[in-house]
Amino acid sequence: MVSPSLVMVDLAAGTFHPADVTEPQLRVDDLAPVRGDGIFEAVSVRGGVIHGFDDHMARLARSARTMDLPEPDAGLWRRAVEAAVEAHDACDEIVVRFIISRGVEATGALTAWALAGPAPEHAIAERETGVDVVLLERGYDSDAAQRAPWLLLGAKTLSYAVNMAATRYAKDHGADEVIFTSSDGAILEAPTSTVVAARGDTLLTPDPDFGILFGTTQIELFRRAPEVGLTVEYARLTEEDLLTADAVWVLSSVRLLVPVNSINGTPVKRDDDRGRTLLELLG
């Protein structure tokens, strides 16, 4: 059994120290457990390499701005993440979550930590097996992010209860995974992943302006795709676009690239050769 490793970060002092994950570290009145009031990132460390750190930091900084939190210190976080990896048992794939909470109310002191653990086995297995997906409505339209910034759409906050509830709903209804749709019929994202579809030699993904997270795995894939002759496009996709695509995947730092087998019970095409090529690009 591989146990997690923990580094507590003092943002005000710009320091961090290793800590025992089995010992209490957070006050029970911290706003992270009380209100989910904070932001985080989850980076993948494969073969000792931290993947996409700069893209994760850029997104953490965006989340911080959206949440009126101070600009995160990229250098401090890199060192803290490296320390968490260093303290972790050897493992092919490690995931490091680094978290900033608004801290204990009225103290003005943020709470922050980096927690490293092994990538879940099911996430790795799904790269081969693929997932059956149900489309579920997210309850807002594709303009909501622009109109209603207080909804924090596009920020990676600690409030994942809705996303987890949707995943449980999918499992209760015979599926493995969810893809959210907007009330005006746009494909959005999965609860912890970005949707990418192939149409001929073009990779398509929903425009992040539709109120979804800008996925760092998708960003890296789109950066590298021209190397294997693919063009890339941010688009407004519908259910029909996914059903008629040449392949559909869900992407995240933890899962990398997972093929979609079916949507609402209808099989979608799989292109495992292309999937392998894209996985190699992600490294």
Least distance from ligand PLP to the Cβ atom of residue 179, Å: 11
CA–CA distance, 158 with 36 (Å, rounded to integer): 5
- Binding string, residues 234-253; x marks residues near ligand PLP by CB under 6 A: -----------------xxx
CA–CA distance, 186 with 112 (Å, rounded to integer): 35
CA–CA distance, 215 with 23 (Å, rounded to integer): 33
CB contact set of 14 (below 8 Å; sequence gap of 6+): 73, 76
Of the pair 52, 130, the CB lying nearest ligand PLP is at 52
Q: Among 42, 115, 136, 225, which residue sits at the site for ligand PLP (rule: CB under 6 A)?
A: 42
Q: Among 38, 130, 215, 259, which residue sits at the site for ligand PLP (rule: CB under 6 A)?
A: 215
182 binding ligand PLP? (CB under 6 A)? no
192 binding ligand PLP? (CB under 6 A)? yes
Total of chain residues touching ligand PLP, rule CB under 6 A: 14
Question: Both tokens of residue 75?
Answer: 């250098």
Angle, helices 74-86 vs 53-66, to 10°: value is: 120
What's the gap between Cα 209 and its chain centre? 16
Least distance from ligand PLP to the Cβ atom of residue 22, Å: 26
CA–CA distance, 96 with 83 (Å, rounded to integer): 10
Of the pair 182, 193, the CB lying nearest ligand PLP is at 193
Binding residues for ligand PLP, rule: CB under 6 A, are: 42, 189, 191-194, 213, 215-218, 251-253
